[in-house]
Amino acid sequence: DMVEVKTALVSVFDKTGLKELGEFLAARKVHVLSTGGTAAKLREYGCTVQDVAEYTGSPEILDGRVKTLHPKVHGGLLAARGNEKHQKDMATHGIRPIDLVIVNLYPFNEAVAAKPDDFPYCIENIDIGGPAMIRASAKNNAHVAICTSPSQYPKIMEEMKANGGCTRMAFRRNLAAAAYALTSSYDAAVSQWMATQVTEPPSTKTVSFEVERPLKYGCNPHQLPAGLCSVNGLKLPFEVVSGTPGYINLLDAVNAWQLVYELGKATGKPAAASFKHVSPAGAAIGVPLSDAEVGVYEVKGKPLTPVACAYVRARNADPMCSFGDFVAISSEVDVATANILKIEVSDGI
């Protein structure tokens, strides 16, 4: 279960957090295999670094397109420890077992965003060696820990500190799952872009979802876990300011907002809606209340602005169904409306 980290392979584009990680590996006397700029930085931080080209006996070639694609690298990643044949092959070919891999990828999406019409430039920013090392390390998670993001560095260091320089199987497996999610998302981005560059796009479409925040639950409380996701790296169209909504809350919010936006735009007056289970329990515009309505709606003596009137009318179209509703208002919520909102039971606004 425990694997001591004696050798680490580090090759990163994003060098965020590399100083702290490098100093940690140096203090642990971990032998580091690295390339190019990453190797130079790690030497600055006191690591014992061996260039991958020196280790493999093969120089970087083809303008850096081939540097880690070598049996001595992938053999060290894929070898099953304790497998007699694997051990013999490693000894025969001088392959060193690699216990920890720190890799992140060329920023392909950023490259496409910067030069969307420069096909050769975008092609050159498709990472090959990185995904190959990530997938190999993740496959061999019984023996290798794969780290794909600077955000994971603190966890790696904590894990090794807590376990005498070792990593646990459960920890490595969690890292492997994250690694495969990354390569899947990366390949999806490349595939989607490539499909826009050809005359016969493939029939298979891949979409990548990124969980931005957890949801309270799905359609019903037993449906867990649930998450609010962005698609293909796009920003969400709204921000959750407070609380943890459920899936139906979000559907109510989006549909209620569309209703009040169009209603307000069509009438030129503030509009409000009370939604439950993706249906309006009430919708109204901000016209004054009669004395009878003020009494029936129990808002006598309260300041009633046009926005407040719109909300009171919407909420009281069916007050029983509106209990625990999601509210949408087309205009900024003023103090008068807020004072009425705070006495009602609503899931959100």
Which residues are designated catalytic?
Answer: 139, 277
* Residues ≥6 apart with Cβ < 8 Å to 17: 150, 153
- Fill in the DSSP letter of residue 151: G
**DSSP state, residue 102:** E
**Measured between alpha carbons, how far is 72 from 211 in angstroms, rounded to an integer?**
37
Sole residue written with tokens 């499909």: 195
Answer whether 52's CB lies under 8 Å from 34's CB. Answer: yes
Two tokens at 77? 């990643």
Residue type at position 44: E
Sheet holding 100-103, edge to edge: 48-51, 31-34, 7-11, 100-103, 145-147
Burial bucket for residue 36 (CB in 10 Å: 0-12, 13-18, 19+): middle
CA 91, distance to chain mean position in Å, is 41
Q: Residue 214 is which amino acid?
A: P
Rounded Cα gap, residues 49 and 10, in angstroms = 10
Q: Kindly give, in sequence order, each residue whose CB lies less than 8 Å from that of residue 58, ignoring residues fewer than 6 positions away.
A: 70
